[in-house]
Structure 1
Amino acid sequence: MAVDTSARTPTFTYVDGDWFSGNPPLIGPASHAMWLGSTVFDGARWFDGIAPDLDLHCERVNRSAVNMGLKPVVEAKEIERLAWEGIGKFDGRTAIYIKPMYWAEHGQMGSVVAADPDSTRFALCLFEAPMHTAKPSSLTVSPFRRPSPETAMTEAKTGSLYPNSGRMIIEARSRGFDNALVRDMNGNVVETASSNVFMVKDGVVYTPAANRTFLAGITRARIIGLLRHAGFDVREATLSVEDFMNADEIFQTGNYSKVVPVTRLDDAQFQEGPVTRKALDLYMDWAKSSHGTDG
């Protein structure tokens, strides 16, 4: 296989039984994934010798494959083992993003639009990506919405959903903000363009109730559990933009940066508050005490 080594950061990819450095060409112009978007992926993190919830991310990519009509051809435990094998190829000085993925090579006979599950391929890509945990972020309410399950593949972590997120971020940045606060088709806040979102009011922690229009993430669930165990009142609820504008604190959670404080929402200013700091401390304490430094 000819290998394109133009990856932006040190990168290793496992595919068809071998590891390749750089950015190997995997999808051709006739591939179903190229022109009809049949891709799913997941993302885990390695940093400081640990990979929190790696097993759950490996399990979720296989569920996404099934929901997309693909065939998960690698067991979750094997994906996890391969991830640790790949981690060993790096120098250990920079955090790593761990990205298992599936895609279809062909469409079904008689209906090329539908992916042929028997043509499913698998790859595991790892690349260096520094953490931006606790770096303050600004949000603006996006004019764009999250689709409902009747209109998009919202129950899979599929690449086809992300152009919508991309335009949300581009539009937000054009107005001087880092990210966007996003609503569903009913006008309720569900997440940001790239992460889950929480708010704090009078000591109570709120996060949008999972309503199948957004990815209720693994890190989101972990933060909810840790805060509740620490004695916080955490409620999943239907929330409006006005609720967030009147909050005492806002923070984002996600695999990529874990916990990120929000210091601005449109014209409203916020401080990084004690609950946000506690959420990050609880997460890091849990991660470092619950996970070893190898697979």
Structure 2
Amino acid sequence: MAVDTSARTPTWTFVDGEWIAGNPPLIGPVSHAMWLGSTVFDGARWFDGIAPDLDLHCRRVNRSAVAMGMAATVPAEEIERLALEGVKKFDGKTAIYIKPMYWAEHGQAGSVVAPDAASTRFALCLFEAPMHTAKPHSLTLSPYRRPTPECAMTDAKTGSLYPNSGRMIVEARARGFDNALVRDMNGNVAETASSNVFMVKDGVVFTPAANRTFLAGITRARVIGLLREAGHDVREATLSVEDFMGADEIFTTGNYSKVAPVNRLDDRELQEGPVARKALELYMDWAYGRKAAA
């Protein structure tokens, strides 16, 4: 049977010392990653000639590999260099998603379930992915929850966590929403199914405190810092669904879309607020190296 090596958008992958176009077949049916889920990845963005926080994403994928019991075989600085080399293979007109990845080929001798760190493989995949920055989106409360560190590999950005996110989004879209507001096992808000979440009440900016049940993202940290530098009161706190239902505005942050406002939470309509607009302005001014407006 022929292997489909096509990709949905222009794609280049660096693996085993060479760049390959399209979607190369890399994982076989006996690979540990295929049947036991030992995969980690990270995601950075390139657009308009810049790649904000690329170095931090390259460092995090290496931390994820170690957290999953694999080896970080490529120094973060080399991943960053390769990523910028790969960007040159595109036409420079469309935003690019930069995805470094590790996976295990084999399990440990005598305990196949655990990955064999010595069998760790690395690939770096770049593909065109338009930005959806500032695009308003709707949320609904998900019936599903984020796991605790005792229940899942929450300290790694691992592919095995994402089927849970996927079913959250499928369930939300079946009810007419774009994404889902997700709670942790204690019933407090953690994030959305695919991004970190912020709310504003009486001028104060709140975001769920990092409690290891969700990925406290690089863009989240960047936005927190920029808003604080601009004089905003930003607090990481334990937040309830009721807190979000009473918010003056809600917005999300993530590497894929940076900052985006929420225009509906279940049956409550919301408007894009001034803090979300300011957060995006501050982020882009920082990313492009511009001086922020007073």
The TM-score with structure 2 as length reference comes to 0.97
Matched, 1:268 2:260: no
Distance 1:185 1:54 in 2: 32
5 Å matches for 1:101-180?
A: 101-180=101-180
RMSD: 0.9
In structure 2, runs of 5+ residues without a counterpart are: none
Percent identity between the aligned chains? 84
Q: Deviation string for 1:73-121 (max 9, x for gaps)?
A: 0000000000000000000000000000000000000000000000000
What does 1:1-295 align with in structure 2 at a 5 Å threshold?
A: 4-289=4-289
Distance 1:276 1:58 in 2: 27
> 1:89 and 1:37 mapped to 2: Cα distance?
30
Paired AA for residue 83 in structure 2: A
Q: Secondary structure at the match of 2:263?
A: strand
Superimposed CA distance per residue, residues 13-57 of structure 1 (whole angstroms, 9 cap, x where no aligned partner)? 000000000000000000000000000000000001000000000
Matched residue type, 2:173: R
State the 1:6 CA deviation.
Answer: 1.0
Preserved CA contact (<8 Å) 1:71 1:120: yes
The 3-state SS of whatever aligns with 1:276 is: helix
Alignment partners' CA distance in 1, 2:76 and 2:4: 28
Per the TM alignment, residue 5 of structure 1 is displaced from its structure 2 partner at its CA by 3.5
Assess if the C-alpha contact under 8 Å between 1:3 and 1:20 holds in 2.
no
In structure 1, the residue corresponding to 2:235 is in which secondary structure?
Answer: strand
Aligned to 1:293: none
How far apart, CA to CA, are the structure 2 residues paired with 1:57 and 1:37?
21
Aligned counterparts of 2:87 and 2:212: Cα–Cα separation in 1: 33
For 1:157, give the aligned amino acid.
K
Amino acid at match of 2:231: G
Question: Which amino acid in 2 is paired with 1:13?
Answer: T
CA distance in 2, matches of 1:19, 1:4: 18
Hey, what's the Cα distance between the residues in 2 that align with 1:31 and 1:104? Answer: 7
Contact kept? 2:39, 2:104, Cα under 8 Å: yes
Deviation of 1:3 (Å): 7.7
The count of residues paired between Structure 1 and Structure 2 equals: 289
Residue by residue over 1:163-185, the C-alpha shift from the partner in whole angstroms, topping out at 9 and shown as x without a partner, is 00000000000000000000000
The amino acid across from 1:56 in the alignment is L
Q: Which digits, 9 at most, give the CA deviation of each residue in 1:145-173, with x for residues without a partner? A: 00000000000000000000000000000
CA contact (8 A) 2:226 2:283 kept: yes
Corresponding residue SS for 1:285: helix
Provide Cα deviations, 1:242-290, integer angstroms capped at 9, x if missing partner. 0000000000000000001000000111100000000000000000007
**What CA distance in whole angstroms lies between the structure 1 residues aligned with 2:269 and 2:284?**
27
Q: Which blocks of at least 5 consecutive residues in structure 1 are unaligned?
A: 291-295
Report the AA paired with residue 259 of structure 2: V
Q: 1:56 aligns to what SS in structure 2? A: helix
Provide Cα deviations, 1:203-253, integer angstroms capped at 9, x if missing partner.
Answer: 000000000000000000000000000000000000000000000000000
Runs ≥4 residues deviating over 2 A: 2-5
Quick one: distance in 2 between partners of 1:102 and 1:73? 9
SS of 2:26 mapped into structure 1: coil
